[in-house]
Structure 1
Amino acid sequence: MRSQTKDASVVQCSKCGRRNRLPRATSGIPRCGVCHQPLPWVTEAGDDDFGEVVEAARIPVVVDFWAPWCGPCRMVSPALEQVAADLAGRLKLVKVNVDEAPRLSQRFAVQAVPTLVVIDQGRVLTQRSGAAPAPVLREWVDDALAA
């Protein structure tokens, strides 16, 4: 379970059920305040805070360039959130609405949505367009992180 505000999201720990507030950007890995298990980190970024939220992250980030009017984007979102949950503590998922972030769309040459980019310490590892099921996305992310 996840809810989003401007500066933070609230995530329920899958281990103990405790609700935890996660900032959009931080220097560490988010952990449950009660049981200390890693939490899935899913947040949003835009043109003005991408560097802070994505490029300064200490763990690899999957950036999901999406649009609210895009059917495949709505289909891939739960699959990406599942990958983020599976890799809690090792991966951050950041969603970028292309309609609200034209500079980022141009910078990453987004021609179709969804476009997914894996970034580690500010460096692009891989990029792909189109929706896919969670197992395919998990394999794609694992391959990118292993390279």
Structure 2
Amino acid sequence: MSELVHIVCPHCQKANRVPASRLQDRPNCGACKKPLASGDIAELSDAGMAGFLAKSDLPVLVDFWASWCGPCKAMAPEFQSAARDWAGTVAFAKLNTEQAQQAAAQYGIRSIPTLILFRGGREVARQSGAMSASQLSAWLRGQLG
């Protein structure tokens, strides 16, 4: 029997149990039927962030951003590209600091974009400033070993 991995759907944020051996098969969410590990990015809110982090067995990379931030806008397609490259290995999420001010304050966000990598709901690494997809992947590889 294959080990089960909890993956939170980036679309409806329901937790799904998926055999680890099936992650490469691009499984769909049991609730909304959309892809679980296709490189889609979850949009988090103050209310949903803690649950998303707590329910995911995958490491979660959160991009703290704002709509007025030029570097954030420039990094958005790079973040999306990296999300596709890491699909099924790392869950990618974004949190708009203008709309989710409580979460931004909780994590001490002082500059944007800021990326925080979580494992088991706990922060394990942080990086501020825009990065290309290749830089982001190199940083992730360094953090995940």
Does TM, normalized by the shorter one, top 0.5? yes
Q: Which residue of 2 aligns with 1:142?
A: 141
The 1:129–1:25 alpha-carbon spacing in structure 2 relative to 1, beyond 3 Å, is: farther
The 1:118–1:106 alpha-carbon spacing in structure 2 relative to 1, beyond 3 Å, is: same
Given the two structures, how large is their TM-score scaled by the length of structure 2?
0.77
Residue-by-residue CA offset, 1:38-72 (whole Å, 9 max, x unaligned): 42131111111111222321101100000011110
Given the two structures, how large is their TM-score scaled by the length of structure 1?
0.76
Q: Which residue of 2 aligns with 1:27?
A: 16
Tell me how far apart the structure 2 counterparts of residues 62 and 43 of structure 1 sit (CA, whole Å): 10
> Aligned AA for 1:106?
A
Shift of 1:84: 1.0
Percent identical among aligned pairs is 28
Shift of 1:27: 3.1
- Equivalence map 1:28-47=2 (5 Å): 28=17, 31-32=26-27, 38-47=37-46
Q: Which residue of 1 aligns with 2:55?
A: 56
Count the aligned residue pairs: 125
Q: Which residue of 1 aligns with 2:4?
A: none
Shift of 1:111: 0.5
Tell me how far apart the structure 1 counterparts of residues 50 and 78 of structure 2 sit (CA, whole Å): 25
Tell me how far apart the structure 2 counterparts of residues 95 and 28 of structure 1 sit (CA, whole Å): 23
Tell me how far apart the structure 2 counterparts of residues 28 and 139 of structure 1 sit (CA, whole Å): 29
Q: Which runs of 5+ in 2 are unaligned?
A: 1-8, 29-34
Shift of 1:32: 4.3
Contact 1:41 / 1:91 at 8 angstroms: preserved in 2?
no
> Aligned AA for 2:13?
R
Q: Which residue of 1 aligns with 2:81?
A: 82
> Aligned AA for 2:115?
L
Tell me how far apart the structure 1 counterparts of residues 36 and 106 of structure 2 sit (CA, whole Å): 35
Contact 1:25 / 1:52 at 8 angstroms: preserved in 2?
no
Contact 1:64 / 1:114 at 8 angstroms: preserved in 2?
yes
Tell me how far apart the structure 1 counterparts of residues 67 and 14 of structure 2 sit (CA, whole Å): 23
